[in-house]
Structure 1
Amino acid sequence: MKQRGGSTAAKRRAGERAAEAVADGMVVGLGTGSTAAHAIRAVGEAVDAGADVRGVPTSFQSRQLAIDAGIPLVGLDEVETVHLAIDGADQFAGGDLVKGGGAAHAREKVVDATAERFVVVADPSKAADALDHPVPVEVLPDARSLAAERVRGFGGEPTLRAAEGKDGPVVTDNGNLVLDCDFGAIDDPGGLAARLSAVPGVVEHGLFVGMADEILVGHGDGVDAKKP
């Protein structure tokens, strides 16, 4: 599995490049995470300069960042379309992603799937030949044991995500729990995605299969644009 992390400069370049695609009149999906945060700040600068842009946040974190940046916010049910979604990834291989490090993947998937164009921002540490990052699975609290059993049946090893700074597990913005499920190298992301989605009590999983329209990978000296 690839080492996680990445330079702040690389993340900033990727996020700011994605924000360059934001045009006057757009509704923009605002992703969650350290790289997407740079895009949110850049969109805020465009709004401050006079651009008419509205944002759809994917988490409490992105909502607060957008408020701090001065971006007007709307809900999905208040707009006819999301023109562009900008979001990060924990890992990508081709056009497939693992997301959910911030436990916001359920709302992220809804917003990203709604968007006319979904742009992923990342640094080189997130690239892989095949997905092997543990897959976050958001589950109803009462379904934790059942979901964990099914994941083991699929060849995975589930771990209940523990909170930092308090006792007990992470609780999502939706009031649910997260199982981080290690499957090793994932040969068939689409098949695994379908199996996870069919488990009773699973709200959403972090496999985003074939959803990305473009992946912007920041480096110390620029940005590579990849078309899956």
Structure 2
Amino acid sequence: MTPAPTLQDQEKQLAAAAALRWVRDGMLLGLGTGSTSAQFIIQLGAAVQNGLKVQGTATSLASEALARQLGIPLLEPRRGLRFDLAVDGADELDHQLRLIKGGGGALLREKTLETASDYLLVIADSSKLVPTLGRFPLPLEVVPFTLPWVLDAVAKLGGAPVVRPAVGDPSTPYFTDQRNHIVDCHFGQIADPEQLARQLEQIPGIVEHGLFLGLAKAAIVIQGGQPMVLKPGEAARPASEFTALP
């Protein structure tokens, strides 16, 4: 017997449905990773089966498998490929649409595709919007050989780094789709995400960090049971006011 969806599940479905209204025939899409993104991919698949013509590239093997199963046409990476719209979740976002991502271990592919997108739309349930980033541990993708030195450097920054274990086997480290490690950092409240990003980018061996700054153009976040569109410096507006990319 399938368990009844939780309130959080329902919010993810609502946010995904609101995002689907921004998709138009002929678009090239970046497909995110995680439980909220999976809801978007499921609803996008249903629209494709009903005649919507789009193509996409997925930010993880898991999202790629789901999209393929649902009949969404997929594109391989190539030079010059840019996306009209990328839709992805976030582990945390603030009111300036600065994000922490990487809870699902796909931050490198996510940041690559979303940097190659003309528009990044974040979808999130009500728990993800925070006044200050940092309650959720900040993930880093790290080359295995460099791991000891990365841990030393991040500890000096006050990040209390922990190597993420494999799902179901705490004795084995987690590996990303690129066969790198994930290090989860516990900085507490991150008062200056931009400065921290610069510091992390100076550490050899960190392939990518989970601070996504200046990438998101808008976010659909559930507030009071309704999907609301957030943009930096603007008051939240009901998602029903938007039927396409602003």
TM-score, length basis structure 1: 0.94
Q: Percent identity among equivalent residues? A: 41
Which whole-Å deviations, capped at 9, do the CAs of 1:123-181 have from their partners, x for residues lacking one? 11111100012110010001111111111111110000011223401000000001000
Between the aligned partners of 1:149 and 1:78, the Cα distance in structure 2 is 36
Which whole-Å deviations, capped at 9, do the CAs of 1:64-93 have from their partners, x for residues lacking one? 110111101002316632000000000011
Q: Aligned with 1:213: secondary structure?
A: strand
Q: Aligned with 2:208: secondary structure?
A: strand
Is residue 100 from structure 1 mapped to residue 102 from structure 2 by the alignment? yes
Is residue 146 from structure 1 mapped to residue 149 from structure 2 by the alignment? yes
Which region of structure 1 is more displaced relative to structure 2, 182-191 or 214-223?
214-223
The alpha carbon displacement at 1:41 in A equals 1.1
Runs of 4+ in 1 over 4 A off after TM superposition: none
Gaps of 5+ in 1: none
Is residue 26 from structure 1 mapped to residue 27 from structure 2 by the alignment? yes
Between the aligned partners of 1:162 and 1:221, the Cα distance in structure 2 is 35
Gaps of 5+ in 2: 1-5, 233-246
Structure of higher CA gyration radius = 2
TM-score, length basis structure 2: 0.87
Q: 1:125 to 1:181 in 2, by over 3 A?
A: same
Number of the residue aligned with 1:181 = 185
Between the aligned partners of 1:137 and 1:147, the Cα distance in structure 2 is 10
Number of the residue aligned with 1:165 = 168
Number of the residue aligned with 2:235 = none
The alpha carbon displacement at 1:15 in A equals 1.1
Between the aligned partners of 1:111 and 1:198, the Cα distance in structure 2 is 22
Number of the residue aligned with 2:240 = none
Equivalence map 1:41-190=2 (5 Å): 41-77=42-78, 80-94=81-95, 95-132=97-134, 133-166=136-169, 167-190=171-194
Between the aligned partners of 2:50 and 2:211, the Cα distance in structure 1 is 36
Q: 1:219 to 1:93 in 2, by over 3 A?
A: closer
CA RMSD, Structure 1 to Structure 2 (Å): 1.5
Which whole-Å deviations, capped at 9, do the CAs of 1:189-226 have from their partners, x for residues lacking one? 01111111121011101000121111101357320110
Q: 1:78 to 1:200 in 2, by over 3 A?
A: closer
Between the aligned partners of 1:6 and 1:201, the Cα distance in structure 2 is 40
Between the aligned partners of 1:124 and 1:160, the Cα distance in structure 2 is 28
* Total equivalences in the alignment: 224
